[in-house]
Structure 1
Amino acid sequence: MPLGSLRPSPLVEQAAEHLREQISTGAWPVGTKLPGETSLAASLGVGRSTVREALRALAGAGLVRARQGAGVFVIAAEPEEDWATRLRRAAVTDVYEVRIGIEVEAARLAGRRRTDDDVAALTTALAGRRAAAGAGDAAFVDADIALHAAVVAAAHNPVLSALFTEFVPTLRQGLIDMLALLELRSGDPNHGDEGHASLVDAVARGDGDAAGRTLREELEQTLVRLTSL
């Protein structure tokens, strides 16, 4: 099967993707010996060094293995999870463990200390989160953080507010990564709306224990999903 010529750059990534496609579609089943570097280079329209680097990438993903004196063979149809993804998932898990410590206590205090202005801010933030459901992940995350920031502000604890503010950049990236890792919005663009509505309601009613409990349950459920990946 002809592989097709590649665009100029980045050649290694393109070459690896073309070769990976041959494997994933079954054109080269597990156990198949790949064509030699010269043949692959001619098919792809690149140099042998590019093919060599692409094969290295496939080997790193657990798709192929070189056997000395025999060639390169397909050993799996699907790539292993790459190290960068593992690290990213671990980082998101760390973020969620810290979130539980900061935000659950803030929610409990918010239920006891919220003012009418705080309730109005929470209602506005919840509406903003719902409005962002049709947007991309980054915009949705920003709206979600705005709601959580309103909860923390309603606690009227300057130390918690300062901790949360310092934490926001890491939290934002962690949330974006989490949505990608778990594909949480693929079937529900407004993921978590019911839980957030319950949180706002508990704070508005002045029920700090319910607010803390609601938020803890939501965050711990997500943490379980992350650690079970």
Structure 2
Amino acid sequence: MAESTDDRRAYRTIERVRAADQIMEDLRDRILRGELPHGSRFPADRDLAERYGVSVATVREAVRALAAMGLVRVRHGSGSFVTVRSETLIAVSMASVIQLEGSPATDVMEILGILYSHAAGLAARQATDEEVASLRAAAERLAELDDLDQAMKDLLHFLRQLSTLSRNPLLAAMCAFLGEVQVELAIELSERRLLPLREVAGALYPDRIAVVEALEARDADRAVRTTRAFHDHALELINSSPTARQIRISDPSYTRLISSLMSTKLASITR
């Protein structure tokens, strides 16, 4: 692996005690500093073993830990590659916390409402006219819900675009992950016949348009209010649906459902 000598630290010999952990931390720091950029081929295990002065088995243990964090993807037969992206790191961290704490769906949705409202307020100030026009087009595609699968994809696109217009990468990444969780939870409830997803999605069309109109007016306070109203209306429709007596989103069964979704997402993120 070619390296410049000016801005790269020499690989140091690692002490035998907890060598795999020390190697993992050193390689993680190199990845996060950009010495090993996203998409680049990761150094071969034997090369790293020689540079760190440890066995190949020790290096492989460190690489497995990096893969579990979503920083490296091991492709059998073609080597390992760096897969560091801010969205991946945030998603792994948030999914782990949600699963570890046993967070109920109510907590996830409450946080999401706050994040999207803040994103909309920023977007009202930051987005260009062309970007707002594109957001309106995304919202208007949800006027017809003939194909529910496509509608859910369009909804995710609308939500992702709204958060991206905030010009805040950290906020956008958090919204993107939690937005996917919310939509996947809705789909799961629909498949269990506990949520009339088509009716709920259709009833929220005016709320989405209201958010766009606030951005078009460049009214940040209004954008915050309409986005929060959009989010609250969604929860109200879920709770007032004909199956509301069967649904209790804060019920332990829904906490387990969130945990199951997190397990699936962690597997997909780090695969």
User: Normalising to structure 1: TM-score of the pair?
Assistant: 0.52
The answer for the alignment partner of 2:223 in structure 1 is 211
Distance 2:120 2:203 in 1: 20
Distance 2:189 2:217 in 1: 31
Residue 145 in structure 1 maps to residue 156 in structure 2: yes
Give the 3 Å change call, closer, same or farther, for CA 189–226 of structure 1 in structure 2: closer
Give the 3 Å change call, closer, same or farther, for CA 93–99 of structure 1 in structure 2: same
Distance 1:100 1:223 in 2: 10
Distance 1:94 1:139 in 2: 27
Identity value in percent: 25
Residue 119 in structure 1 maps to residue 132 in structure 2: yes
Aligned residues: 137
1:205 alignment partner AA: A
Distance 2:236 2:174 in 1: 24
The answer for the alignment partner of 2:172 in structure 1 is 161
Distance 1:96 1:166 in 2: 12
Correspondence list, 1:31-50, <5 A: none
Q: Which runs of 5+ in 1 are unaligned?
A: 1-89
The answer for the alignment partner of 1:107 in structure 2 is 120
Give the 3 Å change call, closer, same or farther, for CA 189–161 of structure 1 in structure 2: closer
The answer for the alignment partner of 1:59 in structure 2 is none
Deviation, structure 1 residue 215: 1.3
Native 8 Å contact 1:141 1:175 kept in 2: no
Give the 3 Å change call, closer, same or farther, for CA 215–168 of structure 1 in structure 2: closer
Deviations 1:22-52 (A, max 9, x none): xxxxxxxxxxxxxxxxxxxxxxxxxxxxxxx
More deviation, 207-216/168-177:
168-177
Distance 1:185 1:213 in 2: 25
Deviation, structure 1 residue 173: 0.6
Runs of 4+ with >4 A deviation: 224-228
Deviation, structure 1 residue 149: 1.4
Residue 182 in structure 1 maps to residue 191 in structure 2: no
Deviation, structure 1 residue 159: 1.1
Distance 1:105 1:177 in 2: 27
Distance 1:213 1:143 in 2: 23
Native 8 Å contact 2:135 2:158 kept in 1: yes
Distance 1:209 1:196 in 2: 16
The answer for the alignment partner of 2:234 in structure 1 is 222
Q: Which runs of 5+ in 2 are unaligned?
A: 1-102, 245-271
Distance 1:216 1:124 in 2: 21
The answer for the alignment partner of 2:211 in structure 1 is 199
Give the 3 Å change call, closer, same or farther, for CA 177–213 of structure 1 in structure 2: farther
The answer for the alignment partner of 2:182 in structure 1 is 171
Native 8 Å contact 1:109 1:155 kept in 2: yes
Native 8 Å contact 2:187 2:197 kept in 1: no
**What secondary structure does 2:203 align onto?**
coil
Give the 3 Å change call, closer, same or farther, for CA 139–123 of structure 1 in structure 2: same
Distance 1:172 1:164 in 2: 12
2:210 alignment partner AA: S
More deviation, 204-213/121-130:
121-130
Deviations 1:149-173 (A, max 9, x none): 1211111111111212333431221
Deviations 1:38-89 (A, max 9, x none): xxxxxxxxxxxxxxxxxxxxxxxxxxxxxxxxxxxxxxxxxxxxxxxxxxxx
**What secondary structure does 1:134 align onto?**
coil
